[in-house]
Amino acid sequence: MEIGTISNIYLLIFLPLFASLTCQIFQIKNFCFSISLLTVIAVFGLLVKVFPDVLIYEKIKNDYDLSLLSIALEFSLDLIGIVFLVVIIFLEAVILIFYRTDILKILNQRNQSNFYSVFLLNLFSLVGILTTNNLFNLYLFIEIHSFSFFAITTISHNKKLLDISFKNFCLSAVSSILILICFFAIYLTFSELNFDKIADNIFLMPASKIWFILMILLLFSLALIVKFFPLWQYFEKIKSTSLVASFLIIDAFFIKILVGLFLAIKFIYFFFGYNFLFSQYQFSPIMILTGFGLVLYSSFKLFKEHHLKLICIFFSISNIGFMISALGMQSVESIQSLFFFLINFSLINFFIFLFASFMKKNCQTSSINRIFKIAFASELSSIPFKLIVPFIAALPFTFLFFGYWYMALASMELNLKIIMIIGLIFSNFVQLNIAMKIIDSIIKNNNISKSNLSEYSTSKDYFQILCFWIMALTVFTTALLSESINDMSLRFASFLLANTI
Amino acid sequence: MQQGQLLLFVIALFPFISWFASRFFRNFEGLYNFSYYLFPILYLINLFQASQYFNLELNQLTILEAVRGLSMSIYVDKLSLVFLYVLGFIWLLFSFYATRYFQILNNKNSYFIKEYFLLIVSFLNFLILSENLFTILFFYICLIISSHFFGVRYLNFLETKFTKFFTFILYLESFLIFIATVITYKINGQIDFIEKIILPSNYDQLQHLIIFLLFFFGLFLAMSVPIYLFFKNIKFDSLILMVLFMVSYGFSSCFVFLKILNYIYGYKGLALITKTYGLRFFEIIVITNLVVSAIFFLKNNDLKSSSFFIFFNQFIILIFSIIVHASGKFNFAVISLIGFLINFTILFFCLGNFELYLHKSPNKSLNGIFYIMPITSVILFFGFLSLVGLAPSLSMVDKFTILLFLIKNKMYFSITILALNFIFLGIFIFKKYQEFSQKDCIIKSDGQIENIAIDEKILNLGKKIDIDSSLILTTLFVAIFGFIGLIFFSYITQFLSFYDAIKG
């Protein structure tokens, strides 16, 4: 392995930490934002640089074996990790730009520095979670992530939001304890904290002690759901116009879920493994049915939903449902569909949520029937959203279409898998229905006058508009590179299925 | 890119370019109208030129590829070429007719419907050129979305409600096509038409039937369940009926059906399905729809509403004709579709003339219209006769052969229903022409009935519309073509003759 690649990976792990410290030290106007942005871009650039190497070697790892705990000096970056990292860092960059003006307005100089410092610390923890190969380090990074998340909430002066965040923090603490128990149990059993070594030793475990793994599975799943899928906790604040609420919800609904999905995939394939989950114990039907249930639930909810933020959340739940089913199906096609649902979730749903926040801020509403106001008042901000509509409608060559395509291919068997076809019908229909509602609302644009726009805020936030264009360009570029993306999905699926224990 | 491919690309993009151009020229009326006439002419010339190359050179072009077998590709075969000409022909006629129609009507929304038609033509053009099921699916969904868009933007509340419901059914249809495509891909690993028969006839027949049903309902679910009956008060304008239902839905779905029957199953595969499972299921669908639509067009007094039901009545006969003919006489199936398109172009153009008259005239009744607009009335009469299947119209072919097929297979109940349908259509024509030739009259004190002379102004207005060159010449042209269409029958049969070779 080239030393350059390894140094790049170390750099991308530690750069956010150093940048965070710099923000704390130099509290100069605009400096912290610039440092944060440059750091995120640099991390993204490093990832792009390392990406071809990961594609070639599939897994790049390094450990100086200084001690058992070798804090943050031990990493392992594989195909799954880098895909998630690229997506998460990209989203973090967009979030940073999107909330720039709001943060400038709401926070004073001191708080701004704190905010960006915490933001970078959060980024450091995210990179750490996705690259570490050591259970202790993983626990450490998860804790840093929880603390930094909670630290951001303290900026808010909204009592309700603080209450919710405190509840979230308490639950997070409980799940941390569960994770700690799991990791401690693993250490006591295998006397190892290195992920690969544990995976190698898991075969040596006597059959009579298999219940032990089952217990770990149960506790870890519970901890993962509570910590990384906190969908229900922020539901009541989802329509809030508060900047901090919006920021936290985006973080909770997108970044946390992505990290949760990554950990779920990592542990399913490289810790518990195919033999244990799908051969010894039949977890496949449970996962398929859970996914199917989520898809149906979100489809029914979406049918009459008009609030764009909630629409986005139900879209996300539907995508997660499909991903869970895909994991349970255990075929190349199903994992390929998981890959596309993941991209759809990260790009399209995220974009819808950003647009909804923008609407809420400017029109005091994010109802789907009021999109015409944005379309009428600001072409510059509405065009990217209009361009995204085919992706919501799941037209061929969109991410969602390929997700459906591979899911349908994986479901065409005469067993439980076939119920996902029903899920596909419902999901496809509501997606199209929502796309049509958006078109209907945009068409209203021609029938309104300026007097109807009394409550529209005329001030333009160019940072937010820039974000929309970045998202739209990314979406279209990715869609146009469909051949490469399909190849990537195949690599992703092959890597998971070939390397599972 | 080779010359054949370049020409193909130009043909594929031509209607789109015209759509963009029309949007661009909207503020320059003269230029707008000129380009609106010019583009279809250029398209047909280009097509004629290009067709020389298609026989010689590579005629396939991949625009975007996802994985092997999943791509957006276009290509031309003889079937596509025939329907490209048909599309160009309809485009040309519509351009001439609609421009004049909206000039007389002075409708502020005329730009919108004309541009919408161009958009439909663009998608349909791509659909005809599609090389695989994936591309077909893409453009079929584009057509659905644009129909929805049109319904919401242009139509009134009741019609919008119907269009939304209609597009809702079409969404379901598109999903069934999606599933059928996935199954086809799954069992055969490819969905390209260029590879000829996709599903070999030695495959599991039940599997074939399931895919066939998925495709069938994926294209004709809206027709199979008579949903149009839930909306009795729909009075679409004739040009909207033409664009929305005839071109956007009828033409596209029937063409795709022809292509699927031809390339997915081949004649032998289809013949085996019909032999193994029979046609009973389709027969029931056809009979139910025929009876219901016949009752509705007879019961309805309004000519617009009746035409709406007649359209569906004839459409279901067309679908049956395609199913019956596709496994043996493919050229008859092609002729049936062409005949259907020509017949309804005549019908809608004639109705358009009447609508113009009703719109301009203080007289809002069609009583005595035969004396006011004799040319249009006569052409419409021939149009109706053509619908019944009178020789030598193109429609005669499918009606006659369907009857032959039913007699041969001793499907007596269906024969009775079909015959009754023709009789109902005859009664409808008789009733309408009685109304058309009925003059307003007064009853004198001595009990005698005296006809009232038609007001000079109304008469002049009617005559003006009736002899308007753009309107009547286009209508007459289609009528002549429809009525002497059988002359072209042998030509089309000969052109499509290579299909016999792949019957298997």
Give domain status of residue B38, yes or no. Answer: no
Count interface pairs A-B at CB distance under 8 A. Answer: 65
- Report the C-alpha gap between B450 and B251 in whole angstroms: 48
DSSP assignment of B226-267 equals TGGGG-TT----HHHIIIIIIIIIIIHHHHHHHHHIIIIIHH
CB distance B66–A397 less than 8 Å?
A: yes
Task: Give the mean model confidence (pLDDT) for residues A112-119.
Answer: 88
Quick one: what percent of chain B has pLDDT higher than 90?
Answer: 10
Q: Most confidently modeled of A66-80, B111-125, B275-289?
A: B111-125
CB distance B186–A428 less than 8 Å?
A: no
Helix (H) / strand (E) element for B443: namely strand B441-443
Give domain status of residue B424, yes or no. Answer: yes
Report the pLDDT value the prediction gives residue A455, as an integer from 0 to 100: 57
Give domain status of residue B120, yes or no. Answer: no
CB distance B67–A397 less than 8 Å?
A: no
CB distance A409–B134 less than 8 Å?
A: no
The contacts of residue B333 (CB under 8 Å, 6+ apart) are B258, B261, B321, B322, B325, B326
Token duo for residue B155: 């139509």
Return mean pLDDT, chain A: 85
CB distance A486–B179 less than 8 Å?
A: no
- Within 10 angstroms of residue A158's Cβ, the number of other Cβ atoms is 16
Say which of A395, A412, A433 has its CB closest to residue B141: A395
- Report the C-alpha gap between B49 and A384 in whole angstroms: 40
For A260-304, what is each residue's pLDDT tens digit?
Answer: 999 999 988 888 887 778 877 888 899 999 999 999 999 999 988
Cα B235 to Cα B99, B111, B227, B228, B314, distances in angstroms:
22, 21, 16, 12, 18
Report the pLDDT value the prediction gives residue A271, as an integer from 0 to 100: 83
Return mean pLDDT, chain B: 81
Least confident range from A419-423, B45-49, B132-136, B445-449: namely B445-449
User: What is the least distance, in Å, from the CA of B72 to any CA of chain A?
Assistant: 9
CB distance A395–B142 less than 8 Å?
A: yes
Quick one: what percent of chain A has pLDDT higher than 70?
Answer: 93
Report the pLDDT value the prediction gives residue B501, as an integer from 0 to 100: 40
Give domain status of residue B271, yes or no. Answer: no
Least confident range from A40-44, A351-355, B138-142, B394-398: namely B394-398
Cβ pair A113, A27 in contact under 8 A: yes
Report the pLDDT value the prediction gives residue A410, as an integer from 0 to 100: 93
Q: Is B73 helix (H, G, I), strand (E, B) or coil?
A: strand
Least confident range from A99-108, B75-84, B195-204, B309-318: namely B195-204
pLDDT bucket at B503, cuts 50 / 70 / 90: very low
Report the pLDDT value the prediction gives residue A447, as an integer from 0 to 100: 58
Give the residue numbers spanning the domain of B461: 298-504
Report the pLDDT value the prediction gives residue A35, as an integer from 0 to 100: 92
Decide if pLDDT at A202 tops 60: yes
pLDDT bucket at A42, cuts 50 / 70 / 90: very high
- Within 10 angstroms of residue B302's Cβ, the number of other Cβ atoms is 12
Give the chain B residue nearest A420 (alpha carbons): B179
Give the chain B residue nearest A478 (alpha carbons): B66
What are the chain A neighbours of B67 within 8 Å (beta carbons)? 483, 486-487, 490
Least confident range from A55-69, A92-106, B366-380: namely A55-69
At residue B368, what is the residue type? G
pLDDT bucket at B440, cuts 50 / 70 / 90: low
Report the pLDDT value the prediction gives residue A361, as an integer from 0 to 100: 81
Cβ pair A69, A54 in contact under 8 A: no
The Cβ-side half-sphere exposure at A384, using a 13 Å CA radius, reads 23
Cβ pair A317, A470 in contact under 8 A: no
Give domain status of residue B250, yes or no. Answer: no
Give the chain A residue nearest B148 (alpha carbons): A436
Decide if pLDDT at A452 tops 70: no
Cβ pair A85, A127 in contact under 8 A: yes
pLDDT bucket at B502, cuts 50 / 70 / 90: very low
User: What is the least distance, in Å, from the CA of B145 to any CA of chain A?
Assistant: 8
Chain B residue set in contact with A, beta carbons under 8 Å: 64-67, 70, 72, 134-135, 137-138, 141-142, 145, 148-149, 152-153, 167, 171-172, 175, 178-179, 182-183, 185-186
Cβ pair B95, B36 in contact under 8 A: yes
Least confident range from B11-15, B48-52, B53-57: namely B53-57
Report the pLDDT value the prediction gives residue B443, as an integer from 0 to 100: 65
Give domain status of residue B390, yes or no. Answer: yes
Return the closest-CA partner of residue B262 out of B329, B214, B210. Answer: B329
One-letter-per-residue 3-state SS of B84-144: HHHHHHHHHHHHHHHHHHHHHHCCCCHHHHHHHHHHHHHHHHHHHHECEHHHHHHHHHHHH
Say which of B66, B138, B153 has its CB closest to residue A482: B66
Report the pLDDT value the prediction gives residue B50, as an integer from 0 to 100: 79
Report the pLDDT value the prediction gives residue A70, as an integer from 0 to 100: 58
Decide if pLDDT at B212 tops 70: yes
Q: Is A76 helix (H, G, I), strand (E, B) or coil?
A: strand
Q: Most confidently modeled of A225-239, A318-332, B486-500?
A: A318-332
- Report the C-alpha gap between A344 and A399 in whole angstroms: 6
CB distance A409–B67 less than 8 Å?
A: no
DSSP annotation of B198: S
CB distance B66–A486 less than 8 Å?
A: yes
CB distance A436–B65 less than 8 Å?
A: no
Decide if pLDDT at A343 tops 90: yes
Determine the distance from the C-alpha atom of residue A321 to the mean position of all C-alpha atoms in its chain, rounded to a whole number.
Answer: 14
What are the chain B neighbours of A404 within 8 Å (beta carbons)? 178
CB distance A409–B182 less than 8 Å?
A: yes
Task: Give the mean model confidence (pLDDT) for residues B70-81.
Answer: 86
Cβ pair A351, A479 in contact under 8 A: no
Helices (runs of H) and strands (runs of E) counted in chain B: 21, 4
Return the closest-CA partner of residue B482 out of B402, B401, B380. Answer: B380
More confident residue, A238 or A339: A339
Cβ pair A356, A308 in contact under 8 A: yes
- Report the C-alpha gap between A42 and B220 in whole angstroms: 55
CB distance A429–B153 less than 8 Å?
A: no
Give domain status of residue B490, yes or no. Answer: yes
What are the chain B neighbours of A369 within 8 Å (beta carbons)? none
For B461-472, what is each residue's pLDDT tens digit?
Answer: 777 777 776 777
- Report the C-alpha gap between B430 and B424 in whole angstroms: 10
What are the chain A neighbours of B149 within 8 Å (beta carbons)? 439, 443
Angle separating helix axes A109-131 and A79-98, nearest 10 degrees? 170
Say which of B137, B171, B186 has its CB closest to residue A412: B186
CB distance A395–B134 less than 8 Å?
A: no
For A210-247, what is each residue's pLDDT tens digit?
Answer: 778 888 888 888 888 888 887 777 666 677 767 777 78
User: What is the least distance, in Å, from the CA of B124 to any CA of chain A?
Assistant: 16
Burial class (CB in 10 A: 0-12, 13-18, 19+), A244: buried
What are the chain A neighbours of B142 within 8 Å (beta carbons)? 395
DSSP annotation of A204: G
Least confident range from A218-227, A277-286, B48-57, B201-210: namely B48-57
Determine the distance from the C-alpha atom of residue B27 to the mean position of all C-alpha atoms in its chain, rounded to a whole number.
Answer: 31
ipTM of this model? 0.84
More confident residue, A378 or A400: A400
More confident residue, A408 or A197: A408
Cβ pair A80, A495 in contact under 8 A: yes
Q: How many domains does chain B have?
A: 1
Task: Give the mean model confidence (pLDDT) for residues B413-435.
Answer: 87
Report the pLDDT value the prediction gives residue A125, as an integer from 0 to 100: 93
Token duo for residue B418: 């079909």
Report the pLDDT value the prediction gives residue B471, as an integer from 0 to 100: 73
Domain ranges of chain A: 282-501
- Report the C-alpha gap between A170 and A176 in whole angstroms: 10
Task: Give the mean model confidence (pLDDT) for residues A241-260.
Answer: 83
Task: Give the mean model confidence (pLDDT) for residues B133-151.
Answer: 87
- Within 10 angstroms of residue B99's Cβ, the number of other Cβ atoms is 17
Please state whether the peptide bond connecting residue B200 to the residue before it is cis, i.e. omega within 30 degrees of 0.
no
Return the closest-CA partner of residue B174 out of B150, B128, B140, B135. Answer: B140
More confident residue, A459 or B222: B222
Task: Give the mean model confidence (pLDDT) for residues B84-96.
Answer: 90
For A146-179, what is each residue's pLDDT tens digit?
Answer: 888 888 777 767 777 777 778 888 888 889 899 9
pLDDT bucket at A498, cuts 50 / 70 / 90: confident
- Report the C-alpha gap between A403 and A387 in whole angstroms: 19
User: What is the least distance, in Å, from the CA of A392 to any CA of chain B?
Assistant: 13
The contacts of residue B485 (CB under 8 Å, 6+ apart) are B335, B338, B339, B342, B392, B393, B394
Report the pLDDT value the prediction gives residue B361, as an integer from 0 to 100: 78
Decide if pLDDT at B397 tops 50: yes
Least confident range from A90-99, A132-141, B395-404: namely B395-404
More confident residue, A407 or B475: A407
Decide if pLDDT at B500 tops 70: no
What are the chain A neighbours of B175 within 8 Å (beta carbons)? 424-425, 428-429
Residue in the structure block whose two tokens are 């067709």: B51
Report the pLDDT value the prediction gives residue B303, as an integer from 0 to 100: 82
Decide if pLDDT at A454 tops 70: no
CB distance A408–B182 less than 8 Å?
A: yes
CB distance B141–A425 less than 8 Å?
A: no
Mutate to test the interface with A, among B63, B68, B70 (most CBs of A within 10 A): B70
User: What is the least distance, in Å, from the CA of B174 to any CA of chain A?
Assistant: 10
For B346-356, what is each residue's pLDDT tens digit?
Answer: 888 888 888 88
- Report the C-alpha gap between A366 and A239 in whole angstroms: 8
What are the chain B neighbours of A405 within 8 Å (beta carbons)? 70, 178, 182
Say which of B67, B134, B179 has its CB closest to residue A421: B179
Q: Is A68 helix (H, G, I), strand (E, B) or coil?
A: coil
- Report the C-alpha gap between A103 and B216 in whole angstroms: 57
Decide if pLDDT at B338 tops 70: yes
